[in-house]
Amino acid sequence: MRKICILLAAALFFSAAALSGCAAEGERSLYRIEAAYEDGELRAVLTLSYANATGQPQQVLPLLLYANAYREGAKNPSVSPSFRAAAYYAGESFGGVEISSVSPCAGWRVGGEDENVLYVELGEPVPDGGRAEIAVAYTLRLPAADHRTGVTHGGTVNLGNFYPVLCVWEDGGFRECAYAGNGDPFYSDCADYEVTFTADAACTVAASGALQRRTVAGGRATHVFSLQNARDFAIVFGPSLRTVSAESGGVRVAYCYEDDPAPQETLALLCEALGYFSHTFGGYPYETYTAVQTGFCHGGMEYPALVMLSDALAGQGLAYTAVHETAHQWWYAAVGSDQCTAAWMDEGLAEYSAALFFEAHPAYGIERETLLHNARTAYNAFCTVWQQVFGAADTSMDRPLSAYGEYEYAAIAYAKGLLLFDTLENALGRAAFLRGLRGYFRAFCGGIAAPADLAAAWHDPAARDTVYSFVEGRAVI
């Protein structure tokens, strides 16, 4: 997160001052989800039509149960220690996933490093290029928490990571990404979504994807959403949300808010950022874009076509976060990367993109030079402290999230990430630098890029060496 960490990024700002290409429709997996919410519980059935593109038959499908990180006794809790007090506003609270049934299959079990994986053994192997369909019935219990998955302090409900997600096939095996309190430990392939969601009819429902229809019966409203070629799907809903919307470049942009004295201004900023990034990097790939103000202990959180913005933000903090999260629609949602080991790729680019936006839009009063100055200050302070305390600072950037402390993570993924792309732009010139980024977006939109793919984006050995000098911790900053 500016990812989680937009708050950390906002804090920096306000303090001192490989797989490529898209799978075609029909070759992608399809998540059909029917879910109903009531009194802190989501009862759901995921029908997954799995498209096997691994190059070999598969008998066992592993699906990540991210929400199990909210259960009592989790080895890798979803909220890091320093944010627990802020997230659990009413004291300790737990959630988790209970699987009721899986069918058809030869068997299933919940396992993995931290009960974070549902293994489904198919009755017979699904051949390469073939499809298998399974239905998973489950209950998701939500904690009282201002976090990605939780009933927030204001009554709005955040449904991030609310369904089992197929692991990414990589290097001859499925990657089982364990949850981490740091960063955004999410890594998934693009798929298609058809989501039917039922809740109290008094609630406003914001979701990834376009609303196809809404029907009301017995005080409950059922919404049907669709989304194509996306790597995740999230919902935020509640009775206190109000909505303003506009069309921007053919995209329906909505801003759902609980308490914002100037919602039209926030909506205008979202439209401006969406238009600027579309023009600068390549067209926004979805029909809709929704930002939701909600209870969230960090600054913001990105999902395809939907972002959460903390209701604790206002003024320039809200503006910065909104732009940073919008940039993630290009760097994370469209162009995927392994956020569990290379968080600098999407976070660094989101920070750089925000700096570029505010440089081009001075009326917001956020100066690029100030952002860069703060990033240098934060990074150098981290190096100094680590050298004094530990005798050395590891400044490498390709590391699992579990290898970082929070302060270290912000200094490396955000601050050093921004400095990396600023350094590249200065060396190449803005036109050549942006040309390379546009090519990177075109090549990996809907796919997953490895660090080597990003390093090769400029077809320039010197640029590639610069990337590696930063990533390997050799660069002198």
**68 and 113 in contact (C-beta within 8 Å)?**
no
Q: Is 231 in the site for Zn ion (CB under 5 A)?
A: no
Binding range to Zn ion, per CB under 5 A, among 84-92, 339-347, 402-410, 433-441:
339-347
Strand partners, 109: 119
Q: DSSP for 333-373? A: TTBB--TTT-HHHHHHHHHHHHHHHHHH-GGG---HHHHHH
Q: Which two tokens stand for residue 448?
A: 């997953």
Please report whether residue 350 would count as binding Zn ion according to CB under 5 A: yes
Residue pair 284/249 in contact (Cβ under 8 Å)? The answer is yes
How many residues sit close enough to Zn ion to count as binding (CB under 5 A)?
4
Among the listed ranges 97-105, 137-145, 345-353, 423-431, the one in contact with Zn ion (CB under 5 A) is: 345-353
Tokens of 205: 């429902």
> How far is Cα 439 from Cα 445, in angstroms, rounded to an integer?
10
Tell whether omega for the bond before 104 is within 30 degrees of 0, i.e. cis.
Answer: yes
Could you tell me which of 247, 259, 70, 217 has the C-alpha nearest to residue 146? 70
6 vs 445 by CB, closer to Zn ion? 6
Separation CA 365–CA 73 (nearest Å): 45
Specify the residue, 57 or 400, whose C-beta has the smaller distance to Zn ion.
400
Residue 2 within binding range of Zn ion, rule CB under 5 A: yes
Nearest distance, CB of residue 301 and Zn ion, angstroms: 8
User: Looking at beta carbons only, is 3 or 368 nearer to Zn ion?
Assistant: 3
Strand (E) or helix (H) holding 326: helix 315-327
Within 8 A by CB and 6+ apart from 469, the residues are: 475
Strand 131-141 relative to strand 149-151, pairing? unpaired
Q: Do 419 and 372 meet the contact criterion of CB atoms below 8 Å apart?
A: yes
Task: Give the shortest CB-372-to-Zn ion separation in angstroms.
Answer: 17
Q: Residue 419's CB: how many other CB atoms inside 10 A?
A: 21
**Cα distance between residue 473 and residue 397, in whole Å:** 7
Residue range at the interface with Zn ion (CB under 5 A); choices 185-193, 347-355, 358-366, 454-462: 347-355
**Under the criterion CB under 5 A, does residue 355 sit at the interface with Zn ion?**
no
Q: How many CA atoms lie within 13 A of 112 on its CB side?
A: 27
273 lines the binding site for Zn ion (CB under 5 A): no
Rounded least distance, CB 187 to Zn ion, Å: 15
Q: In angstroms, what is the minimal distance from the CB of 4 to Zn ion?
A: 8
What minimum distance in Å lies between the beta carbon of 251 and Zn ion? Answer: 21
Q: Which of these ranges, 19-27, 124-132, 236-244, 344-352, lies near Zn ion under the rule CB under 5 A? A: 344-352
Q: Which is nearer to Zn ion, 206 or 323 (CB)?
A: 323
Pick out residues in 59-78 that bind Zn ion (CB under 5 A): none
For residues 161 to 180, the per-residue mask of contacts with Zn ion, x marking binding by CB under 5 A and - elsewhere, is: --------------------
- Is 327 an interacting residue with respect to Zn ion (CB under 5 A)? no
Is residue 3 a contact residue for Zn ion (CB under 5 A)? yes
Smallest gap from residue 299 Cβ to Zn ion (A): 9
Residue facing Zn ion at closest CB distance: 2
| Chain residues in the site for Zn ion (CB under 5 A) | 2-3, 347, 350
